[in-house]
């Protein structure tokens, strides 16, 4: 049996054990995603990469490819659902792009552009979240956290430090720093850590870097996210 | 052949900085082309104080930070067939909304009482002053908005694209390069 499936009608080859998004990515087909990163074990939480497999919704970052699967991704219906999820991420946090250092390099923003998100649609939460500027080299702005857990996975699985964690449940889930004080300065976190490179939004920011590259000349200003290399740090 | 009736366009800046209006003027000489198809009704550009009841397009810059903003927005919704939110503040509250996690009393106290050099200051309470809202709100949370032009400010080209699409009877569409939240 040949190792292929179809994605929006296109034949995609895959190797045993590959997920749908891995096979699609290898074939140069973009599936929107935020918590997925090719270098890490899938988390399956943001649901942006949801596709329909033989008519049923599933996360393409956790679903293994199988011969003959019929996968739909870039359909009006699925993109409307992705857009709604993205809008919810925007209203749950404080995402003020004009004053964010990550603007133009932000995967959440670029994904919203890709999905044609013209407004947040829902009512804003305007949550009250702290900023942690304790670390000499890195600023943490929790206002923009989308709970993708990439920093948690990077610090735990690559750096072997376990600096970050997700705490709480449901709507109260939030990112924490694993120190008694809760401050980044009281951990062994370093700028050289993998965890310092993976934030898709503007939570983990290198200090004194700010607007070194002007707005308008950044990664996703040059080309839309669907045409740029996967999930690499854009700064 | 009778001349085609010009569309009436009204504009206003609520809790905004007029940056979006400046960007609107950045369509430069295309304003002349635009004026062949539209006429301005209530707008800072005309100084007309209230909307005519038959406006075709209303363009709103800025979010809602006080009671007057809400009244103006409702007047626009009532009198304009199509309402457009222009810029980040109208769409998500923008810079003014960054006060939203602070209690209003704390802000007024700090601005008028406790800041250095403000001894014996008083919180303004003239009845002519519109009352601030507890939080700054995007305009879609209060009235129905038909179209959005994101950006801080949106570029003149983005504003031009939306208006010309509408004039051509098309759904406005901003592609990559014109779609910006920053």
pLDDT tens digits, B22-69 = 999 999 999 999 999 999 999 999 999 999 999 999 999 999 999 999
Kindly determine whether residue A123 and residue B141, on different chains, have CB atoms separated by under 8 Å: yes
Q: Does B98 touch chain A (CB under 8 A)?
A: yes
Residues of A in contact with B179 (CB under 8 A): 113, 116
**For tokens 């990559």, what's the residue?**
B176
- CA-nearest residue to B97 within chain A is A126
Q: Does B162 touch chain A (CB under 8 A)?
A: no
Average per-residue pLDDT for chain A: 95
pLDDT value of residue A229? 63
From B24's Cα to the closest Cα of chain A, the distance in A is 18
Cα dihedral B25, A90, A78, A46, rounded to 10, equals 150
Kindly determine whether residue A103 and residue B181, on different chains, have CB atoms separated by under 8 Å: yes
Residues of A in contact with B101 (CB under 8 A): 94, 126-129
Q: Does B152 touch chain A (CB under 8 A)?
A: yes
Q: Taking a C-beta distance cutoff of 8 angstroms, is the pair B97, A96 a contact?
A: yes
**CATH 3.30.70.20 domain position(s) in chain A:** 83-228
pLDDT value of residue A230? 59
Kindly determine whether residue B135 and residue A126, on different chains, have CB atoms separated by under 8 Å: yes
| Cα–Cα distance, B28 to B17 (Å, whole number) | 20
From A5's Cα to the closest Cα of chain B, the distance in A is 30
From B149's Cα to the closest Cα of chain A, the distance in A is 7
> Quick one: average pLDDT of B97-101?
95
**For tokens 């939203």, what's the residue?**
B100
Q: Taking a C-beta distance cutoff of 8 angstroms, is the pair B132, B65 a contact?
A: yes
Residue B156 region by backbone torsions, left for phi larger than 0, else alpha for psi between -120 and 50, else beta: alpha
The H or E element containing residue A51 is strand A50-53
pLDDT value of residue A235? 33
Which of A98, A127, A129 faces B182 most closely, judged by CB atoms?
A: A98
| Cα–Cα distance, A11 to A172 (Å, whole number) | 42
- Contacts of A76-79 spanning 24+ positions with Cβ under 8 A: A78/A50, A78/A51, A78/A52, A79/A115, A79/A116
Confidence band of A93 (pLDDT split at 50, 70, 90): very high
Radius of gyration of chain B from its Cα atoms, rounded to whole angstroms: 18
**CATH 3.10.20.740 domain position(s) in chain A:** 3-74
Q: Does B148 touch chain A (CB under 8 A)?
A: yes
| Cα–Cα distance, A29 to A8 (Å, whole number) | 10
Kindly determine whether residue B181 and residue A97, on different chains, have CB atoms separated by under 8 Å: yes
| Cα–Cα distance, A33 to B148 (Å, whole number) | 24
Kindly determine whether residue B182 and residue A97, on different chains, have CB atoms separated by under 8 Å: yes
Confidence band of B116 (pLDDT split at 50, 70, 90): confident
Q: Does B141 touch chain A (CB under 8 A)?
A: yes
Nearest Cα to B87, choosing from B140, B144, B134, B130? B140
Other CB atoms within 10 A of residue A179 CB: 15
| Cα–Cα distance, A145 to B115 (Å, whole number) | 32
Query: Whole-structure pTM over 0.80, yes or no?
Result: yes
| Cα–Cα distance, A47 to A55 (Å, whole number) | 16
DSSP string, B75-105: HHHHHEEEEEEESHHHHH-TGGGGGTTS-HH
Confidence band of A231 (pLDDT split at 50, 70, 90): very low
Residues of A in contact with B60 (CB under 8 A): none
- CA-nearest residue to A92 within chain B is B92
> Quick one: average pLDDT of A81-89?
98
Which of A95, A98, A124 faces B138 most closely, judged by CB atoms?
A: A124
Domain A3-74, what architecture?
Roll (3.10)
Residue A233 clears pLDDT 70, i.e. is over it? no
Q: Does B100 touch chain A (CB under 8 A)?
A: yes
CATH 3.30.70.20 fits A83-228, yes or no: yes
Which of A98, A116, A119 faces B94 most closely, judged by CB atoms?
A: A98
Q: Does A126 touch chain B (CB under 8 A)?
A: yes
């Amino acid at each position: 049996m040949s190792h292929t499936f179809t994605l929006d009608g296109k034949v995609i080859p895959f190797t045993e054990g590959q997920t749908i998004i891995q096979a699609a990515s290898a074939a140069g087909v973009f599936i929107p995603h935020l918590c997925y990163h090719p270098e890490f074990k899938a988390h399956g939480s943001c649901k942006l990469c949801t596709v329909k497999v033989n008519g049923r919704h599933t996360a393409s970052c956790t679903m293994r490819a199988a011969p003959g699967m019929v996968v739909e991704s870039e359909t009006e219906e699925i993109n409307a659902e992705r857009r709604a999820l993205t809008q919810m991420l925007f209203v749950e946090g404080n995402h003020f792009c004009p004053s964010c250092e990550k603007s133009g390099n932000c995967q959440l923003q670029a994904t919203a552009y890709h999905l044609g998100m013209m407004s947040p649609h829902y009512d804003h939460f305007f949550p009250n979240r702290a900023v942690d500027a304790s670390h000499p080299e890195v600023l943490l702005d929790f206002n923009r956290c989308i709970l993708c857990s990439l920093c948690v996975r990077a610090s735990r699985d690559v750096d072997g430090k376990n600096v970050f964690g997700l705490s709480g449940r449901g709507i109260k889930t939030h990112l924490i720093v694993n120190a008694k004080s809760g401050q980044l300065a009281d951990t062994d976190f370093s700028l050289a850590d993998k965890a310092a490179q993976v934030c898709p939004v503007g939570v983990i920011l290198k200090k004194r870097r700010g607007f070194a590259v002007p707005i308008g000349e950044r990664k996703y200003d040059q080309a839309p996210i669907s045409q740029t290399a996967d999930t690499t740090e854009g700064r | 052949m009778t001349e085609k009736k010009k569309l009436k366009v009204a504009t206003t800046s609520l809790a905004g900085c007029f940056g979006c209006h400046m960007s609107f003027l950045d369509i430069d000489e295309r304003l002349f082309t635009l004026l062949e198809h539209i006429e301005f009704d209530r707008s800072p550009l005309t100084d007309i104080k209230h909307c005519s009841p038959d406006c075709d397009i209303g363009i709103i810059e800025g979010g809602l930070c006080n009671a007057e903003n809400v009244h103006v927005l409702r007047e626009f919704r009532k009198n304009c067939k199509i309402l457009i939110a222009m810029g980040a503040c109208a769409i998500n509250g923008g810079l003014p909304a960054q006060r939203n996690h602070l209690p209003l009393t704390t802000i007024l106290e700090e601005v008028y009482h406790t800041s250095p050099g403000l001894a014996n200051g008083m919180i303004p309470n003239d009845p002519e002053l519109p009352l601030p809202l507890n939080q700054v709100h995007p305009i879609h949370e209060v009235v129905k908005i038909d179209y959005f032009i994101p950006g801080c400010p949106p570029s003149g080209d983005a504003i031009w694209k939306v208006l010309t699409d509408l004039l051509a009877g098309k759904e406005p569409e901003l592609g990559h390069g014109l779609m910006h939240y920053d």
